[in-house]
Amino acid sequence: MMTSSYSNSPCAACKFLRRKCNQDCIFAPYFPPEEPKKFANVHKVFGASNVSKLLNEVLPHQREDTVNSLAYEAEARIKDPVYGCVGFISGLQRQLLGLQKELDATNADLIQFTIQGSSSLGLGHVDYSNGFYNYPSNFEQ
């Protein structure tokens, strides 16, 4: 009977590869049999032997994150074969630039406001009790 190191059934990798799942199977902790798509995607994009090499290059406590990031990249590449997750990076960088510009503009408005009062925001003429805010007549004196 096939066994994996963690369950009584072969891991998703060994099931996919149709091989015996040994107790020291490097894939077994990270590709449980109930998530067959995860290994299928990773195999399609990276290949089993490349994944195995990558896992052997990192420390055991890093392997779970390694597999999860590979799975994420593989899924992104399958959904978008041209750009994969790099398209998402590009979008995020543009979004950050846009937000930064908007923040700079808002901060500039705030500074204007504190210097000149609410009339600088185009809120219309507001009658203040003291003359200080009667822009522009007071400003020109």
Partner 1 sequence: MASSSSYNSPCAACKFLRRKCMPGCIFAPYFPPEEPQKFANVHKIFGASNVTKILNELLPHQREDAVNSLAYEAEARVRDPVYGCVGAISFLQRQVQRLQKELDSANADLLRFAYNDSSLPPLPPLVVPASFHHHHHHQQLTPQRQLQFGSRFGNGGNIDGSGFYSFPYAIPWNDTSSDDLSGGVGGRGGGVGGGNL
Q: Which of 37, 91, 132, 138 binds partner 1 (CB under 8 A)?
A: 91
Name the residue with tokens 């020109």.
Answer: 140
Residue length, the chain?
Answer: 141
Told to check if 76 binds partner 1 by CB under 8 A, we report yes
Q: Report the nearest approach of partner 1 to the CB of residue 3 (Å).
A: 29
Q: Report the nearest approach of partner 1 to the CB of residue 46 (Å).
A: 6
Q: Count CB neighbours of 74 within 10 A.
A: 23
DSSP letter at 3? -
Amino acid at 6: Y
CB 84 within 8 A of CB 77: yes
Q: Which stretch binds partner 1 (CB under 8 A): 2-10, 13-21, 23-31, 83-91?
A: 83-91
Q: Which two tokens stand for residue 94?
A: 């543009």
Told to check if 40 binds partner 1 by CB under 8 A, we report no
Told to check if 5 binds partner 1 by CB under 8 A, we report no
Told to check if 86 binds partner 1 by CB under 8 A, we report yes
Orientation angle between helical segments 63-79 and 48-57, nearest 10 degrees: 150
CB 21 within 8 A of CB 7: no
Told to check if 111 binds partner 1 by CB under 8 A, we report no
Binding residues (CB under 8 A) for partner 1: these are: 44-47, 49-50, 54, 57-58, 62, 65-66, 68-70, 72-73, 75-77, 79-96, 98-100, 102-103, 106-107, 109-110, 113-114, 117-118, 121, 123, 126-127
